[in-house]
Amino acid sequence: MKAFVFPGQGAQFSGMGKDLYEKSPLARELFEKANELLGFRITDIMFEGSDEDLRQTKVTQPAIFLHSIIVAKTLGEQFQPDMVAGHSLGEFSALVAVKALSFEDGLQLVYQRASAMQKAGEIHPGTMAAILNLPDETIEKICAGIDEIVVSANYNCPGQVVISGSIKGIDIACEQLLAAGAKRALKLKVGGAFHSPLMESAGEKLKKAIDTVSFKTPECPVYQNVSTKGETSPEKIKANLIAQLTAPVKWTQSVQNMIAAGANDFTELGPGNVLQGLIKKINSEVQTQGVS
């Protein structure tokens, strides 16, 4: 069975989507529509911007969403998924790809989500760190014992968990996790403590935006980060999207559930190849490839 997956923040690079724009009239039309809807030429930043320009949350998220969804749309008949999933932001790309959301509504929600997350990061400064080669339970226990906001935010694959929280909390956690035997504790260059309680104000804003948008039943199950299950109910999908901002991204568990449901061929759509690598670490026997 065929699964299509969509990357999240961190997959961006300068020049992303430029080939698509130049070669495909459909891609060009969608990129220009996005420029119009956003009120600025995001294509200029995607194609020519510096890494720093692309790292702004309110640019990064719509840029990755656009690249991913335009790849899916230009595949035409080749895009026939039995199931889909997206990593954090990628969940919006997945939902648009399987027609649970329109392109226009998806883009507006992603932009509003990104702006709300950037604002929350300014109000409550925080950061994230990747912890390598330590059991999930050990990471959870150490984080729970710290008198600061610090939580497990991304379960990316066995042996790779990203933690999120206050700057002080992350510093303390990294020190304690290394002492407990972590191979590495690598602080990430991000604009806030994503998927932690520090994103609560962003969650409230996103809920208001989501409540104004029409969701339809997707063409196939969408394995969501919060529930890790194949969802088809528009109401359940909406609730999970809102919860996702402060809840962990359970990518490992979602991929395991997709494989248990029959997925044996994963295609990553969009910039980079991060998800292909994570999926191989979750289960080395499945087939992976990417289209960008």
Which residue has tokens 């656009």? Answer: 66
185 neighbors 131 (Cβ within 8 angstroms): yes
- Taking CA atoms, 168 is separated from 70, 91, 129, in Å, by 40, 30, 12
Written out in words, the top-level CATH class of the domain with range 126-187 is: alpha beta
pLDDT at res. 209: 92
pLDDT of residue 55: 81
Ranges under pLDDT 50 in the chain: none
Pick the catalytic residue: 68, 88, 115, 196?
88
Task: Give the pLDDT confidence score for residue 57 in this predicted structure.
Answer: 79
> How far is Cα 283 from Cα 5, in angstroms, rounded to an integer?
15
- How far, in Å, CA of 270 to CA of 8, rounded? 9
**Who's near 168: CB < 8 A, 6+ residues apart?**
148
Active site residue 87: no
Measured CA to CA, the distance from residue 138 to residue 202 in angstroms comes to: 29
Q: Residue 11: what pLDDT?
A: 85
Q: Which uninterrupted H or E stretch holds 153?
A: strand 150-157
Asked whether the beta carbons of 13 and 54 are under 8 A apart, the reply is: yes
Backbone angles phi, psi at 10, to 5 degrees: 110, -15
Nearest to 225 by CA among 55, 2, 73, 7: 7
195 is catalytic: yes
Query: Token match 């962003």: residue?
Result: 202
The reply to whether 2-122+197-291 and 126-187 are identical in fold is no
- Using one digit for the tens of pLDDT, what is the confidence trace for 186-237? 999 888 899 999 999 888 889 999 999 999 999 999 999 999 999 999 999 9
Residue 197 is classified by DSSP as G
What are the sequence ranges of the domains in the chain? Answer: 2-122+197-291, 126-187
Which of 67, 152, 195, 254 is flagged as catalytic? 195
Check residue 190 and give its pLDDT: 83
DSSP state letter for 73: H
The model carries a pTM of 0.93
- Sequence-separated (6 or more) residues with CB below 8 Å from residue 21: 27, 28, 31, 43, 47
Bridge partners of 268?
Answer: 5, 290
The architecture CATH gives domain 2-122+197-291: 3-Layer(aba) Sandwich (3.40)
